[in-house]
Amino acid sequence: MDDKASEEMSFYEDSSRYRGMLAWLMSTDHKRIGLMYLGALLSFFTVGVALGVLIRLSLIAPGAILNAQQYNEVFTVHGIIQIFLFIIPGIPVSFGNFLLPIMIGARDVAFPRLNRFTLWLYLVGAAVVLLALFIKGAPPDTGWTFYAPYSIKTKANVSLAVLGVFILGFSSIFTGLNFVTTIHRMRAPGMKWFRLPLFIWTLYATGWVQILATPVLAITLVFIVLGRVFGVGFFDPSRGGDPILYEHLFWIYSHPAVYIMVLPAMGIISEIMPTFSKRKIFGYKAVVFSALAIATVGYFVWGHHMFTSGMSDTARIVFSFITFLVAVPSGVKVFNWIATLYKGSIQIDSPLLFALSFIFLFSVGGLTGLIIGSLAPNLHVHGTYFIVAHFHYVMFGGVGFSFLAGLHYWYPKMFGKMFSEKAAKIGWFFFFIGFNVLYFSMFILGYNGMPRRYFDPPPQYHSGEMVSTVGSWLLAIGLIIIFCNLIRALFKGPKASANPWGGRTLEWTIPSPPPYENFIEMPVITEGPYGFGKK
Amino acid sequence: MALGRNSNQQATVPSTEQGRIDYAGKKIGMWLFLFTELLFFGGMFLLYAVYRSRYPAEFHWAAQQENLLLGSINTMILLSSSLTMAVAVSAIGKAHRRLSCLMQMVTMLSACCFLIIKYFEWGAKISKGIYPNSPVLLAHEKGDILFFSLYFVMTGIHGLHVLIGIIVMAIMLFFTRRGVIAPDNFAKLENTGLYWHFVDIVWIYLFPLFYLIT
Amino acid sequence: MDRDDLQAQTAGYSHYLCVWAALLVLLGMTIAIARHELLANYSVLGSLVIATVKAGLVLSYFMHLRNEGWVVKGMLLLAIGALTFIIALTFVDTWYR
């Protein structure tokens, strides 16, 4: 890098015609938008974690802190916040926004003003959801899944919460639309499709899922409001309706939604593995096609959430079969990540530690998913803590750890500072141990019959609940250490260089933090990513 | 990753880099938005399909209660408005600004006529006591309740899209008059056209499903 | 604007008029089929087929799909495919209950 580049203004200092907070909120710069999203996401995540800790406390002393009605409201809000305000927007709006243009050699996304609009939609949607918790009436108590007929009948502020989610849905849709268009149209010269970094491929696949699945949730939420306000009984048997159709419509979105969550997370792992083993990714094309396959096949497995709902046997068999198919491309990815390590020059820094954790925890979650996806076991574990453990392993152990991996990996690039590697590892340790104590015990509880969403566990589960709750405290300590480390580094950390990890994708060729226009001269690409050469 | 930084290489530069508008990109963006609309209406068509397969006789009877004449007129109006919209877009591309403005106005007026006719159709039903959750409707067969609920919801949401289309077209007309939309820069109008044709296509399917399954 | 230009512009719009005429004819056909007693069993299928032809005309000519490359056509196929398959899979449940 030449000296001129390091003297260049970073995007933080670049002047705009607004000042202060407005200079950020009115910015169309994808980097600023990404950081604002990141701040909002992590704030909501913290609230969600606090609610989770509260749930665990209540479960070891039912009635002492929350009564039964409040318990229902707390787990509902925990789910709504973690899913709709954190994990679905999650990686695409934070790391995706910040890095997509840079990694493909562009100056910004295809529609920068639309990008800014998605941020505003997100903030408004979040505000409406939070409003539903505090205004007159009660917070929703339906579970984040809003199943009919209860969601139509309950006196809680469901319409308002659902309106908030509707608005958030459009933020997601427009983000996906923007990213798909950007990847088609704004790649730098020479950046052919099969030279794209794998993170970009996952953002592409995710964008398509956002475009094609989210609108189905949108209309389903409209149906809930129509039912509550106008008495339209699409899911009311007394009016000819079918509650199972609600479940179909809901899961037609909500299953692909988990791929919106996990595909970008897998993309991050695909970026980290080559850098920390100093080898190019094993089987680049296989990883690309597995991402596309997961997005495609994942679109058609939604019925596996409904095996005990009263669906036809034929449908159960079909959905179970397709569910087994979708595990295959995930397996391909896990294999290829591990193969990338083989004969590599491995540097176990914090990003790699979180990434390796992802591989282990996601595999546990994924394998238990196969158990749940089999029809006979499903009858026993549906609606139990086995399910709760499974999805926390894939979503929190998977996407959550990947989020932290990406945060540590790209931290120097985004903030121009370096954090304490030692503190990161200590935080990881508590987080990892706490996570497994908290959630593995749930597999055992669920296998032994503990139902989910129950306010007062029967006494035979008490010791398991106790172990799990202690795990939640260890996990919370870990998170506190991790975030204190990162926040401290913002103010007191040493300056970071352009490429502290030795990465081989475009973001590591520009200063940390990047200048406003990303590249002084547009790069021209002549070969694929992860060019670590033969080893 | 090797980077070449000189312009001697005959590499294609993204068109936005040279300050040109990426017309193809804007079009792709609009098509992607239309796909979201397809899936949005799709959820309603899914419900219709399932309930029709469950209550074929009731759906058949209920469809006969619809006003076929008004529905057919409305279909003709929308098809014609698609024509005028297509001509409007083509016209501005050929620098025929006045023709384009005229066609845009005719499209908007046609859309208004559509909504007025819809208003009368709905009014007729409501005056007979048929609307969601009404005692009259709830006394009917389950299949009828579903048919009419779907009718109000689907034509209602479609009508909302028509209304939004009218507003957007008004803005585009303003832009065309002002020259913001010009022969070398009419992506906005073309994309509005795409939206309007989509709204037309939705009605092309709604019409037989509610008026013709007799 | 001279006469040649006028010719050029009206020639440019005439194919839209032809498509519109075809759409109105198809509309007439679909109403006729629906009211025809003998074809009652096939009237729904017939109506939907004709609707699809009409939609195809609007897509190809009014929305200029026939002038688009494979990117846009492929994307449209993807979206239609997605909707078709989710309705079909839902029917695997509702049909076999």
Are C82 and A299 within 8 A, CB to CB?
Answer: yes
Q: A271-280, A349-358, A456-465, C8-17 — which is least confidently predicted?
A: C8-17
Q: Return d(Cα A368, Cα A379) in angstroms, integer.
A: 14
Chain C residue nearest residue B84, CA to CA: C16
SS3 C68: coil
pLDDT tens readout for residues A183-239: 999 999 999 999 999 999 999 999 999 999 999 999 999 999 999 999 999 999 999
- Copy the structure tokens of residue A374: 């089999």
Q: Return d(Cα A81, Cα A43) in angstroms, integer.
A: 10
Could you tell me if residue B11 is inside a domain? Answer: no
Cβ partners under 8 Å of residue C78, min gap 6:
A208, A212, B35
Could you tell me if residue A515 is inside a domain? Answer: no
Chain A residue nearest residue C85, CA to CA: A300
Are B205 and C48 within 8 A, CB to CB?
Answer: yes
* Mean pLDDT of the B164-186 span: 95
| C58 and C88 belong to one structural domain | no
Could you tell me if residue B18 is inside a domain? Answer: no
pLDDT confidence bin for A535, thresholds 50/70/90: very low
* Mean pLDDT of the A511-517 span: 93
| Chain B nearest C-alpha distance from C24 (Å) | 7
Could you tell me if residue B71 is inside a domain? Answer: yes
pLDDT at C35: 78
| C56 and C17 belong to one structural domain | yes
| C55 and C77 belong to one structural domain | no
Count the domains in chain C.
2
pLDDT tens readout for residues A416-443: 999 999 999 999 999 999 999 999 999 9
> Does the pLDDT value for residue B15 go beyond 80?
no
Could you tell me if residue B164 is inside a domain? Answer: yes
- Copy the structure tokens of residue B199: 């709204």
Could you tell me if residue B16 is inside a domain? Answer: no
| C19 and C36 belong to one structural domain | yes
- Copy the structure tokens of residue B210: 């509610």
pLDDT confidence bin for C10, thresholds 50/70/90: very low
b/e code A305-318 from CB counts within 10 Å (16+ = b): bbbebebbeebbeb
* Mean pLDDT of the A521-532 span: 88
pLDDT confidence bin for C38, thresholds 50/70/90: low
Averaged pLDDT score across all residues of chain A: 95
| C28 and C12 belong to one structural domain | yes
pLDDT confidence bin for C39, thresholds 50/70/90: low
- Which of A245, A300, A314 is nearest residue C96 as measured by Cβ atoms? A314
Could you tell me if residue B9 is inside a domain? Answer: no
| C56 and C71 belong to one structural domain | no
- Copy the structure tokens of residue B212: 């013709």
> Does the pLDDT value for residue A2 go beyond 80?
no
Are A211 and B12 within 8 A, CB to CB?
Answer: no
* Mean pLDDT of the A452-460 span: 95
> How many C-beta atoms lie closer than 10 Å to residue C42's C-beta?
12
Q: Return d(Cα A65, Cα A71) in angstroms, integer.
A: 9
State the ipTM, two decimals.
0.94
| C59 and C71 belong to one structural domain | no
Find the CATH number of the domain harbouring A457: 1.20.210.10
pLDDT at A17: 81
Could you tell me if residue A483 is inside a domain? Answer: yes
* Mean pLDDT of the B31-57 span: 96
DSSP class per residue in A206-230: HHHHHHHHHHHHHHHHHHHHHHHHH
Could you tell me if residue B183 is inside a domain? Answer: yes
| C90 and C50 belong to one structural domain | no
Count the domains in chain A.
1
| Chain A nearest C-alpha distance from B2 (Å) | 6
pLDDT confidence bin for B3, thresholds 50/70/90: very low
Q: Return d(Cα A213, Cα A173) in angstroms, integer.
A: 9
| C33 and C22 belong to one structural domain | yes
Are C93 and A244 within 8 A, CB to CB?
Answer: yes
pLDDT at A534: 45
Using a CB–CB cutoff of 8 Å, tell me whether A252 touches chain C.
yes
Could you tell me if residue B14 is inside a domain? Answer: no
Task: Give me the domain span that covers residue B90.
Answer: 24-212
Could you tell me if residue A532 is inside a domain? Answer: no
Task: Give me the domain span that covers residue C71.
Answer: 66-97
Task: Give me the domain span that covers residue A484.
Answer: 3-509
* Mean pLDDT of the A381-396 span: 97
pLDDT at A437: 98
What are the backbone angles phi and psi of residue A524, rounded to the nearest 5°? -120, 125
* Mean pLDDT of the A68-86 span: 95
pLDDT confidence bin for B4, thresholds 50/70/90: very low
pLDDT tens readout for residues A31-60: 999 999 999 999 999 999 999 999 999 999
* Mean pLDDT of the A107-136 span: 95
Using a CB–CB cutoff of 8 Å, tell me whether A298 touches chain C.
no
pLDDT at B14: 54
Using a CB–CB cutoff of 8 Å, tell me whether B205 touches chain C.
yes
Helices (H), A231-283: 243-277
Find the CATH number of the domain harbouring B156: 1.20.120.80
User: Whole-prediction pTM value?
Assistant: 0.94
Are C90 and B46 within 8 A, CB to CB?
Answer: yes
pLDDT at A136: 81
Contact in structure between A243 and C92 (CB atoms under 8 Å): no
Residue of B7, B13, B34, B36 best to disrupt the A interface, most CBs of A under 10 A: B36
> Does the pLDDT value for residue C1 go beyond 50?
no
pLDDT tens readout for residues B89-130: 999 999 999 999 999 999 999 999 999 999 999 999 999 999
Count the domains in chain B.
1
pLDDT tens readout for residues B65-88: 999 999 999 999 999 999 999 999
